[in-house]
């Protein structure tokens, strides 16, 4: 899970493909910013019969006030993505609430809130260069791939935002995370527009960003421990995201390729080899370094070049074991998915999962034990008697509502520990089930042992969902949160994983995606560019 890469199935790719396929119209509806970029801007989006607005409130913070933490109280820009027309009353409500973010309230037609900060190093450099009439230094931009960093994309009823259930299947933003991805796409567009605006205010003859550079710039982001409880608290989504990916990979592996498909994969491998040669993301030993990935890509290319055209792609994959790093294996899987876009697109609907089914009190204990032994054999095999197996505990900060990781017996917070110790709960359940009669029902057992209700419900509800549980003890002293974070970030479509510690990571979203200008002109930059803009290469201008 900590080795996967974004794919065609990732939410960012889905959103941009929808923008292109349905020819959404995006433009600036209002731009009232002063010379420093302070003021208000509004983008208008026409998506069929639906109209959306992205309303941004922009200011300039002291660099000392800028932070990646979600608990910050001020940002260089705060924005709202809303549906419907903007009235004077709505705008007044937005002005009073959106800049407050955590302390504000949304109206019922607002889908997402976001906020972010200028990158002091990259944003200022771009503005200075454009004001001087020249393009920014691409070698510097390669180090980050963005000029603005966002810190959150809120949605689904938080702060009164439109709940996910109100987005009907025929809605333009139907599907998981589509509203958040549109907010990210428009925030990225605003960042480039803002840099050009500030440069023009300094010099009316300022240069415009070269389209290739503008396309290369994504939107920065950072994430911490919160994604770990999310994966445990939403196991049906964890299963769906894994199942869809594994199904797409399985289809590709069992397909006998054509000569054109083999050539296409060779081109993708060459593209990635050059990409990792340019990539300067610091992996700090927590993820695979670029030199290793490049070395493995050479091996994979040689293997793919020898792929027999009467054998399925499994022939290539069978030779990888022990030859390349696990991240390189997953990179090949990602590229195999790209070869069969219709299959991937057909699986998108399966990313949605219904809520967990209710508890089944009539189940016999014999049936329950059978499910546990089948689905949780991995948890039963763990040695949880070692003190290191319960080194950490998870809790939520009362001040910031952030998920936090505490050291048991050292840090405060054990009294409000969250029940995320799934392997421990499984082993405890099995110990208490051992003396109980096999034909006894779950209902009768819970009358005597009510502490097991949550874990029994979990076991029953996830019966048959093979990928629902990350097979790890997240309380263990050796647990590395980054790996579960990367799994989710890849599904969102984020790249350039730059660990700042084992607990949090900086990433880039939408890098290489077509800009609003590209969408409006139908620009075709290269064969297949419309569908595959991942692993953005250094712009050559």
Q: What mean pLDDT, rounded, does the chain reach?
A: 94
- Closest Cα partner for 299 from 264, 272, 279, 259? 272
- Asked whether the beta carbons of 117 and 149 are under 8 A apart, the reply is yes
Query: What tokens were used for 431?
Result: 């110990």
Q: What is the rounded CA–CA span in Å between residue 189 and residue 516? A: 7
The yes-or-no verdict on residue 266 having pLDDT over 70 is: yes
Q: What is the rounded CA–CA span in Å between residue 187 and residue 77? A: 9
Structure confidence by residue, pLDDT tens digits, 11-50: 999 999 999 999 999 999 999 999 999 999 999 999 999 9
- In this prediction, residue 527 carries a pLDDT of 38
- In this prediction, residue 398 carries a pLDDT of 78
What number of other Cβ atoms are within 10 A of residue 202's Cβ?
Answer: 13
Q: Where are the domains of the chain?
A: 11-225+503-521, 235-352+483-495, 365-461
Q: What is the rounded CA–CA span in Å between residue 341 and residue 327? A: 22
- In this prediction, residue 369 carries a pLDDT of 98
- In this prediction, residue 62 carries a pLDDT of 86
Query: What tokens were used for 217?
Result: 């710039």
Structure confidence by residue, pLDDT tens digits, 470-501: 999 999 999 999 999 999 999 999 999 999 99
Three-class DSSP category at 33: strand
- Asked whether the beta carbons of 226 and 338 are under 8 A apart, the reply is no
Cα Rg for the chain, rounded, in angstroms? Answer: 25
The yes-or-no verdict on residue 524 having pLDDT over 50 is: no
Q: In the structure, what pLDDT confidence band is assigned to residue 321 with cuts at 50, 70 and 90?
A: confident
Higher-pLDDT residue of 507, 525: 507
- Closest Cα partner for 505 from 147, 114, 221? 221
- In this prediction, residue 267 carries a pLDDT of 96
Tell me how many degrees the CA angle 35-37-40 measures, rounded to the nearest 5: 120
What number of other Cβ atoms are within 10 A of residue 410's Cβ?
Answer: 8
Q: In the structure, what pLDDT confidence band is assigned to residue 528 with cuts at 50, 70 and 90?
A: very low
Structure confidence by residue, pLDDT tens digits, 379-430: 999 999 999 999 999 998 877 677 889 999 998 889 899 999 999 999 999 9
**86-100, 153-167, 196-210, 510-524: which has the minimum mean pLDDT?**
510-524
Tell me how many degrees the CA angle 233-114-138 measures, rounded to the nearest 5: 110
């Amino acid at each position: 899970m900590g080795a996967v890469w974004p794919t065609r199935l990732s939410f960012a790719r889905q959103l941009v493909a929808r923008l292109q396929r349905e020819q959404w119209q995006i433009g600036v509806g209002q731009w009232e910013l002063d010379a420093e970029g302070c003021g208000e801007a509004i983008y208008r989006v026409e998506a069929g019969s639906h109209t959306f607005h992205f309303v941004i409130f922009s200011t300039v913070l002291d660099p000392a006030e800028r932070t990646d933490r979600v608990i910050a109280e001020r940002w260089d820009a705060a924005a709202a993505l809303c549906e419907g027309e903007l009235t004077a009353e709505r705008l007044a409500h937005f002005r009073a609430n959106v800049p407050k973010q955590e302390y504000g309230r949304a109206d019922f037609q607002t889908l997402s809130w976001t906020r972010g900060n200028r990158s002091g190093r990259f944003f200022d450099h771009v503005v200075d260069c454009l004001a001087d009439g020249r393009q920014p230094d691409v070698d510097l931009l390669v180090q980050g791939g963005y000029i603005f960093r966002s810190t959150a994309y809120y949605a689904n009823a938080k702060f009164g935002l439109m709940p996910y259930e109100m987005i009907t299947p025929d809605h333009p933003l139907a599907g998981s995370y589509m509203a958040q991805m549109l907010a990210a796409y428009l925030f990225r567009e605003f960042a480039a527009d803002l840099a050009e605006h500030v440069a023009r205010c300094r010099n009316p003859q300022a240069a415009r960003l070269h389209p290739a550079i503008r396309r290369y710039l994504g939107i920065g982001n950072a994430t911490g421990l919160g994604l770990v409880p999310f994966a445990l608290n939403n196991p049906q989504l964890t299963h769906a995201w894994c199942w869809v990916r594994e199904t797409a990979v399985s289809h590709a592996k069992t397909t006998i390729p054509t000569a054109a498909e083999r050539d296409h994969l060779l081109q993708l491998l060459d593209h990635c080899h050059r990409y990792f040669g340019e990539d300067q993301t610091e992996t700090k030993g927590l993820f695979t370094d670029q030199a290793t990935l490049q070395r493995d890509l050479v091996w994979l290319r040689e293997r793919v070049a020898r792929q027999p055209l009467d054998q399925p792609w499994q022939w290539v994959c069978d030779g990888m074991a022990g030859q390349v790093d696990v991240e390189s294996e997953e990179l090949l899987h990602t590229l195999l998915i790209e070869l069969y876009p219709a299959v991937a697109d057909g699986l998108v609907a399966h990313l949605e999962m219904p809520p967990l089914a209710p508890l089944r009190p009539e189940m016999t204990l014999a049936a329950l034990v059978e499910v546990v032994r089948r689905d949780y054999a991995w948890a039963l095999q763990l040695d949880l008697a070692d003190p290191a197996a319960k080194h950490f505990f998870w809790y939520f900060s009362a001040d910031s509502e952030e998920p936090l990781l505490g050291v048991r017996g050292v840090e405060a917070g054990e009294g409000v520990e969250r029940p995320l110790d799934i392997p421990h709960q499984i082993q405890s359940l099995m110990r208490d089930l051992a003396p109980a009669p096999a034909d006894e029902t779950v209902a009768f057992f819970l009358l005597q042992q009510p502490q097991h209700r949550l874990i029994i419900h979990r076991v029953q509800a996830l019966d048959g969902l093979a990928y629902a549980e990350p097979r790890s003890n997240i309380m263990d002293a050796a647990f590395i949160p980054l790996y579960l974070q990367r799994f989710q970030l890849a599904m969102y479509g984020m790249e350039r994983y730059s660990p700042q510690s084992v607990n949090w990571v900086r990433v880039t979203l939408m890098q290489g995606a077509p800009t609003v200008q590209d969408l409006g002109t139908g620009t075709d930059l290269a064969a297949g560019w419309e569908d595959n803009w991942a692993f953005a290469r250094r712009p050559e201008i």
